[in-house]
Amino acid sequence: MFYFVQHWKDSLESNGKFSTPDQDPSPPKKRRAWEIIKPILGFILPFVILVSIPIIFFYLLYSVPSLFGAGNTRPDNRQELLKRNWERYLTRGARWMDTNDVEGFELTLCPFKEDGNWGYLDSPEEVGFICGNVTVPLYHEQPDGETIQIPIAIWPNYENPALVSPLFITHGGPGGSALEMYPRMLYPNRLGGEWDIVIIDQRGTQYANPSLDCPEITESSEEGIDDFLDYLGYCRARLTGKGINLAAFTTHEIARDFEVVWRMLGYSEINFYGVSYGSHVGQYLAAYYPENIRSLILDGVAPIPLDYLNRSVSTHNRVLNELIAHCEKDPNCSQQYPDLSEMLNNIIKRLDQKPQQIKIHVPGYLATYNEEIDGSSFYYYILSSSYLDNNYAALPYIIQQVEKNRFDAMASFYEAYILDFLTTSGAFYSVICAEHSTLTTTDTDESVLIPSMMGWEIENQSENQEECLSWNVPRSTHVLDVMPESKIPTLLLSGYFDPVTPPEYGEIALESFPQGQHIIDPLGSHGVAFSENCTKYIMYSFLINPSNPVPTECLTDPDRLNPPVEKSALSIPFIRRSRDIAKSYIFISVLILLLMLLRIFWLGVRKIYKRYKGALKKRTPAEWKLHRRFELADWVFTLSCLGFGLGLSEFRDQLSELPGYWNASALPAEASWVMIIPVLMVIILPAVVIPSFRLWKYNRSILRRTYYLFQALVCSLFSAHIIYTNMLFIWVR
């Protein structure tokens, strides 16, 4: 307000409106309205301009997408692409398809996300996907009864395929969404094969109709089993209140759904891939339709009968022992992280006695919440993170960081999956509670790595019993308790560090497949087929000729082994958002640099013009000094911002070759020089902000005031983001 009053006063003085007693009084002049409005506008308009710019930008971004190169993802164009793809598919398949059958296929736009691997300009339909819903009987024994819909995504080879037997893919869970995972995982090389790919979401999952999703559970705090049972009960009551029969969502009916799909699409035989519970579905298909299955790929095998919950103590204890033993056998790891087992037990005891609070940032929002970490939650976090590939390289570092009360890896893990929970809870409980063997606590091996885990696992089994009682579905009458022997060529894949379906399960299932091959990835975890090129090549070779032994030499390639995360690595709490952060810093700083260069060019032209006209106004020495300070600090800050974005992006890209660092939410120690830049930026901030406000007083131009205010605001926002994301002290090990 002081600047506004001073500006008004100076403006009036310059127009002779103020006079001193020594001056001759002039006849009073009538004030013009513009002389009053001008200083007000000079104060308000810079703020109006700055607020208007982002509003206009986002309006154009979302209202006129073609201006930003995204016009091909508009619904009308995607719909046209979908119809074109479907017509090409029918034309190509006319020689073996019965077009009358496909009338039951309802075309829809692909429901999975448009971002990811499609590229900036591509939509799933432009890539070639055909998505739709297939209507199937609720109970296949009652074909004329109630019906439901399951979503599928077809990615055809639009040329004449060498293999007319497609690859059918489904996910695990139960209740996992294959459509949300596999389209982007397969794009762009299609496994290098020429066959059609058909991705199926099982009944009751995320995009199915009905979906047995339970937002009551995922949105709850889950602070205790009693509360969780309440949320589970609310979900069940809501679903049954809609007339949904939860007893119809079983493996038997899911397998029969697959038959409807391949017969509708006109295929006489298929190749099948299923991971985890999906491998369980594959065994049902082998038992029901042996003549229609050309080959089976069972990844992370859940053998018949489905009984993995009862074996949690032995499977969890095994993977913890193997992960620690792997470090002890590696001289580099054992030297940096000695006595890892003792360290782990001490951490769990300490957290049980004194739980820690960690702050979780909700992705895409400014909101945060606190999560309490005790011994049990840390134990289950280790098991959950063991699902990730190459976690053997990250676990020692994670344990060492938690010993120092650094929970960045845990926070990053929670943030990554809090809004990316792809398993539909209702579908999970409908299958598990209808088919799982009666839960017992017989799996109570006393020789466990962590003494406390026995009580936690027994308690978890008891909670599973209560959850199934709350879900209240009858035992399925079509459960396969014994897998009949099958002559289908089968590839069984296991990961050595799998925390839930260990290699032992693959050996159990192999007994039913005399023409099967069981391959154990010595570095793999849960689901290895798509983890890297080696296992992709094994699967591709099997699909080309399922009767031949697959090549496994690449599994023992020493280059596959990832070294342990170095003890001196930098723990980065925002590692999973680092790509977006780096892009934002680069993009915004480049725009600001262009603005600064454009301003220099404009001021130079303006100065030459005014000098030519003889109207050049000289600045006072104090104003020149202040202006130079502002310009220097502004350039240093903006270039630092650009350097930080480029450096962070470079090290972030290196994580593709260092997946252990990604799992550990860490960057190599060499990144210290990059992570110290945010500290310098915060230190420089006052040198930008203070002169910008002082220059406000000297300059009455609305554009200049807008520029100074803009620079101060942008630098302040960058600094606030640095502090908010805890970037300041990362470089301090």
For the segment 386-437, what is each residue's pLDDT rounded down to a tens digit?
Answer: 998 899 999 999 999 999 999 988 888 887 776 555 688 999 999 999 998 6
Q: What percent of the chain has pLDDT over 90?
A: 49
Does residue 689 or residue 62 have the better pLDDT? Answer: 689
Neighbouring-strand partners of residue 199: 153, 169
Tell me how far CA of residue 60 lies from CA of 53, 56, 161, 627, in angstroms. Answer: 11, 6, 43, 35
For the chain, how big is the Rg over CA atoms in Å?
32
Return the top range by mean pLDDT from 35-39, 165-169, 222-226, 369-373.
Answer: 165-169
Supply angle C-alpha 298, 92, 167, rounded to 5: 5
SS3 270: strand
Over residues 672-685, the pLDDT tens digits come to 999 999 999 999 99
- What does the pLDDT look like over 210-252, one tens digit per residue? 999 988 776 554 444 457 888 888 999 999 999 999 999 999 9
Check: CB of residue 577 under 8 Å from CB of residue 363: yes
H or E segment to which residue 640 belongs: helix 621-654
- Whether residue 250 contacts residue 148, with contact meaning beta carbons closer than 8 Å, is answered with no
Statement: residue 113 has pLDDT above 70:
no
Backbone angles phi, psi at 439, to 5 degrees: -70, 135
The pLDDT assigned to 463 comes to: 85
Residue 275 CA to its chain's centroid (Å): 20
Top pLDDT among 696 and 472 is at 472
Average pLDDT of the residues in 263-286? 94
Residues 193-200 have a mean pLDDT of 89
Output the six-digit token pair for 200. Answer: 């199926």
Q: Global pTM?
A: 0.83
What six digits make up the tokens of 98?
A: 């019965």
Task: Answer whether residue 557 shows pLDDT above 80.
Answer: yes
Q: Residue 363: is its pLDDT beyond 50? A: yes
**Pair of tokens at residue 331:** 């001289």
Distance, CA of 373 to CA of 355 (rounded, Å):
5
The H or E element spanning position 397 is helix 395-403
Q: Which residue has the tokens 């082998």?
A: 286
For the CA atoms of 152, 157, 161, 165, the dihedral, rounded to the nearest 10 degrees, stands at -20
Measured distance CA(665)–CA(651) in Å, rounded: 12
The larger pLDDT score, comparing residue 290 to residue 452, is at: 290
Residue tagged 């308009």 (tokens): 45
Distances (CA, A) of 197 to 95, 129, 155, 163, 168: 18, 10, 5, 11, 6
Q: How far apart are CA 552 and CA 517, in angstroms?
A: 11
Task: Give me the pLDDT at residue 601, please.
Answer: 86
Strands (E), 375-414: none
Tokens for 322, please give them: 């193997």
Look at residue 14 and tell me whether its pLDDT is greater than 50.
no
Q: Kindly tell me if the per-residue pLDDT of 578 is higher than 60.
A: yes
* Cβ-contact 152, 199 below 8 angstroms: yes
Is 31 buried (19+), middle (13-18) or exposed (0-12) by CB count in 10 A?
A: exposed
pLDDT at 54: 63
* pLDDT score of 311: 81
Percentage above 70 pLDDT, the chain: 81
382 against 1, higher pLDDT: 382
Strand 167-170 and strand 105-108: pairing?
Answer: unpaired
Cβ–Cβ under 8 Å, residues 39 and 702: no
What is the model's pLDDT at position 9? 46
The 3-state secondary structure of 164-205, one letter per residue:
CCCEEEECCCCCCCHHHHHHHHHCCCHHHCCCCEEEECCCEC
Q: Average of pLDDT values for 258-279?
A: 93
The SS3 call for residue 352 is helix
pLDDT of 13 strictly over 50 = no
- Please report, to the nearest 10 degrees, the dihedral formed by the alpha carbons of residues 12, 17, 19, 23 taken in order: 130
Mean pLDDT computed over 316-339: 93
Confidence of residue 38 (pLDDT cuts 50, 70, 90): low
Quote the mean pLDDT of the chain.
Answer: 83
In sequence order, the β-bridge partners of residue 296 are: 272, 490
Q: Which amino acid is at 290?
A: P
- Map out the domains of the chain with their CATH numbers: 2-63 (no CATH), 105-211+254-308+487-560 (3.40.50.1820), 337-419 (no CATH), 572-724 (no CATH)
Task: Round to whole Å and give the CA distance between 343 and 397.
Answer: 11
Query: Which pLDDT does position 221 carry in this prediction?
Result: 45
With a cut of 90, say whether residue 118 has pLDDT above it.
no
Query: pLDDT tens digit string along 53-111?
Result: 666 655 554 455 444 444 444 556 889 999 999 998 888 766 566 555 677 789 999 98
Write out the two tokens for 634.
């502004």
Least Cα distance to 128 among 76, 189, 85, 178 occurs for 85
What is d(CA 673, CA 502) in angstroms, rounded to the nearest whole number? 42
Contacts of 138 (CB under 8 A, 6+ apart): 145, 146, 147, 148, 245, 248, 253
Residue 728 is predicted with a pLDDT of: 84
N- to C-terminal Cα distance for the chain?
A: 46
426 near 246, Cβ under 8 Å?
yes
- In 3D space, the residue among 248, 165, 176, 266 whose CA is nearest the CA of residue 213 turns out to be 176
What does the DSSP 8-state code read for residue 211? B
Return the SS3 of 662.
helix
**pLDDT > 90? residue 167:** yes
- Positive or negative, the CA dihedral 426, 385, 553, 186 is positive
Q: Do the strands 167-170 and 270-275 form a parallel or antiparallel pair, or are they unpaired?
A: parallel
